[in-house]
């Protein structure tokens, strides 16, 4: 918690200050995120695309959005991003290889074995068009 919040609303309650004090006294509440987070981030790397993750029966499933630049539509090259993925028990080093127009989904099992999932979608290749005036 970066700072103590003020009580919201027009009608204030006396219990707010006591509840806030109890919350601030918990060991996992701090002004510094580094004090409460003792583990590395799920995914480390430079220029990482947006991603989401879930854990299903001990297997981490991670979706990485294609790192398409704003306004970019035509691309012919694979995009490579080195990444380190921490799943709690294991750390997996990999290179995320994004074919043109493709996002990635991978899973890492409890033993640290990485497997790429097939989510390929082949859209039409964008064409350059002249703007009409």
The pLDDT tens digits for 120-132 are: 887 777 776 666 6
For 90-125, what is each residue's pLDDT tens digit?
999 999 999 988 999 999 999 999 999 999 887 777
pLDDT (tens digit per residue) in 23-62: 999 988 988 877 887 789 999 999 999 999 999 999 999 9
Query: What is the Cα–Cα distance from 40 to 42, expressed in whole angstroms?
Result: 7
Mean pLDDT of all residues in the chain?
89
Q: What is the SS3 assignment for 23?
A: helix
Largest CA distance in the chain: 66
CA-wise closest residue to 66 among 116, 101, 21, 111: 101
Give the helix, strand, coil percentages of the chain, each rounded to 5: 10, 30, 60
């Amino acid at each position: 918690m970066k700072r103590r919040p003020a009580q919201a609303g027009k009608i204030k309650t006396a219990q707010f200050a006591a509840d806030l004090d109890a919350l601030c006294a918990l060991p996992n509440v701090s002004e510094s995120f580094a004090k409460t987070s003792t583990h590395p981030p799920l995914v480390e790397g430079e220029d990482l695309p947006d991603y989401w993750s879930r854990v299903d029966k001990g297997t981490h499933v991670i979706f990485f959005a294609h790192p398409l630049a704003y306004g970019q539509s035509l691309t012919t090259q694979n995009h490579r991003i080195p990444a380190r993925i921490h799943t709690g028990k294991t750390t997996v080093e990999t290179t995320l290889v994004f074919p043109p127009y493709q996002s990635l989904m991978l899973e890492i099992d409890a033993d640290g074995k990485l497997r790429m999932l097939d989510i390929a979608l082949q859209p039409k290749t964008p064409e350059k068009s002249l703007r009409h005036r």
